[in-house]
């Protein structure tokens, strides 16, 4: 059954997502351990993100000729060694290097894993399969991060990384057992990969992916001061709000995958239209607790409803040589993470209030919508994958 290999990929994505984001909950403990400031410890978040951006193309090139199962197992080995190095890191510098090394496996794993998930199911369920794999990443925010933070606070931050290592071992064994062998690497070779990457119909959905992530992280990076300073939630209330938002993004990811298998075009465009509307609404309801929480769930759901459809769009656009394109799209998402945080910071420094950040995010979503619409018209017309119906 295809469900078992996809479940194996989801377990791995849960571990990868946990190690990426849990550090944010452990910054005080890490800072105290190495006698650095919390902002300096925060660079461990940025270091990981940039490791994904830089490592994605390099690792994609290195694994281009490997069978996909072999590539996935090799990437899990890098993930395990990186997290062991994090757990035993004697200094702040070695922890930073270990985080960056771990991040090198991130983009390529999700890029290759998305292709494997797509190829294991019937055509009419391809985006659902990708969304199920990515469900591990969303569940990492709902379960992995809070549980990992609690473990780190109770037993020390190193214990959290050892727990992630255990998840990685389980995922590696599951991939070995359930992911079928014989899935080929790139059909077009490395030269074919680069030729595919140079085409505008492939680059365009990558840019849309970046813009979707910029829009989300322009607000999400600063969601805690927004909820505390504008909505008036307590620290405990913010934790609850983020948990609810995590449920929203998990549901949105799964719903987006299901809808996209019926009509990918309508899902992408509809999600962007919904994001623009909800982000505009957030400005008006930011001071009202229950309305803000409801809008937060819808916003996070719509943002993650785009993830698997955009990944499939890139893979289909580069269908003759998808490995590099699929992997670089993960780098595009992470570039958007960093750019969104930077854009929000620049706006705040310039005097924009936290409650107005959603308007900037709405403007970025409007750019993403425009690019998606341009794929259906003009001299460089590139129709999104056609609607798929069973049978």
pLDDT in tens, 88-145: 999 999 999 999 999 999 888 988 888 888 888 887 788 888 888 888 888 887 888 8
Per-residue pLDDT reduced to its tens digit, 199-224: 778 889 999 999 999 999 889 878 87
The yes-or-no verdict on residue 45 having pLDDT over 50 is: yes
Q: Please report, rounded to a whole number, the percentage of residues in the chain having pLDDT higher than 70.
A: 91
Residue 39 tokens read as 């902002």
| Confidence label for 388 from pLDDT (cuts 50, 70 and 90) | very low
Per-residue pLDDT reduced to its tens digit, 184-198: 655 555 566 666 666
Classified as helix, coil or strand, 156 is coil
The rounded distance, in Å, linking the Cα atoms of 165 and 162 is 5
Looking at residue 389, its pLDDT comes to: 39
Domains, the chain: 1-185 (1.20.1250.20), 187-391 (1.20.1250.20)
Looking at residue 278, its pLDDT comes to: 96
List helix spans (H) across the chain: 3-21, 27-34, 38-62, 68-88, 92-119, 126-139, 145-155, 157-178, 189-197, 200-220, 223-226, 235-262, 264-285, 289-305, 307-317, 322-349, 357-374
Q: Mean pLDDT for the chain?
A: 85
The yes-or-no verdict on residue 327 having pLDDT over 90 is: no
Of 131, 279, 306, the residue nearest 212 (C-alpha)? 306
| Confidence label for 60 from pLDDT (cuts 50, 70 and 90) | confident
- Residue pair 77/171 in contact (Cβ under 8 Å)? The answer is no
């Amino acid at each position: 059954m295809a469900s078992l290999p996809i479940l194996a990929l989801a377990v791995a994505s849960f571990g990868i997502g946990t190690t990426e984001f849990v550090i944010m909950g452990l910054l005080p403990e890490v800072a105290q351990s190495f006698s650095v400031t919390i902002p300096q410890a925060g660079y461990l978040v940025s270091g990981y993100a940039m490791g994904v951006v830089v490592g994605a193309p390099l690792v994609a090139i290195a694994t281009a000729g490997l069978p996909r199962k072999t590539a996935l197992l090799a990437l899990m080995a890098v993930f395990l060694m990186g997290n062991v190095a994090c757990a035993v890191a004697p200094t702040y510098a070695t922890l930073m290097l270990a985080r960056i090394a771990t991040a090198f496996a991130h983009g390529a794993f999700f890029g290759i894993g998305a292709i494997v998930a797509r190829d294991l199911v019937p055509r009419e369920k391809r985006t659902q399969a990708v969304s199920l794999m990515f469900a591990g990443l969303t569940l990492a925010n709902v379960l992995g991060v809070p549980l990992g933070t609690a473990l780190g606070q109770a037993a020390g931050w190193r214990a959290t990384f050892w727990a992630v290592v255990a998840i990685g071992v389980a995922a590696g064994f599951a991939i070995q057992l359930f992911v079928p062998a014989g899935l080929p690497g790139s059909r077009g070779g490395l030269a074919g990969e680069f030729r595919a990457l140079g085409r505008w119909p492939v680059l365009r959905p990558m840019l849309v992916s970046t813009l979707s992530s910029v829009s989300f992280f322009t607000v999400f990076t600063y969601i805690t001061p927004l909820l505390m300073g504008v909505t008036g939630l307590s620290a405990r209330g913010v934790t609850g709000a983020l948990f609810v938002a995590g449920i929203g993004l998990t549901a949105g990811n799964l719903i987006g995958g299901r809808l996209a298998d019926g009509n990918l075009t309508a899902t992408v465009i509809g999600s962007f239209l919904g994001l623009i509307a909800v982000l505009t609404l957030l400005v008006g309801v930011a001071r009202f607790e229950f309305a803000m929480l409801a809008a937060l769930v819808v916003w996070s759901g719509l943002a993650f409803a785009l993830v698997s459809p955009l990944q499939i769009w890139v893979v289909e656009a580069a269908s003759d040589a998808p490995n590099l394109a699929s992997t670089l799209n993960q780098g595009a998402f992470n570039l958007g993470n960093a750019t969104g945080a930077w854009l929000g910071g620049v706006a705040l420094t310039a005097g924009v209030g936290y409650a107005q950040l959603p308007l900037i995010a709405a403007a970025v979503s409007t750019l993403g919508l425009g690019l998606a619409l341009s794929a259906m018209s003009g001299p460089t017309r590139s129709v999104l994958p056609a609607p798929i119906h069973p049978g």
